[in-house]
Amino acid sequence: MTHDLWYLYILDCDGTALYTGISIDPERRLAEHRQAGPEAAKSLRRHDSLRLAYSLKVGPKPLALKLERRIKSLSRSDKQSLITSAPCLDELLELLSLNERGEPGISG
The low-confidence residues of the chain, meaning pLDDT below 70, are 1-3, 98-108
Q: The whole model's pTM is what?
A: 0.85
Range of 48's domain? 6-95
Structurally, the chain folds into a number of domains equal to 1
Q: Distance (Å, rounded) from C-alpha 94 to C-alpha 29?
A: 27
CATH number at residue 38: 3.40.1440
Tell me, yes or no, whether 82 lies in a domain. Answer: yes
Looking at residue 39, its pLDDT comes to 84
Query: Considering only CA atoms, which of 5, 84, 87, 9 is closest in space to residue 44?
Result: 9
Beta strands in 1-108 (DSSP E): 6-13, 17-23, 50-59
Tell me, yes or no, whether 103 lies in a domain. Answer: no
Beta strands in 14-93 (DSSP E): 17-23, 50-59
Q: Distance (Å, rounded) from C-alpha 108 to C-alpha 94?
A: 10
Looking at residue 108, its pLDDT comes to 34
Going from the C-alpha of 39 to that of each of 2, 22, 75, the distances in angstroms are 20, 13, 26
Residue pLDDT, tens place only, 72-101: 999 999 999 999 999 999 999 988 886 555
Asked if 95 and 81 touch (Cβ cutoff 8 Å), the reply is: no
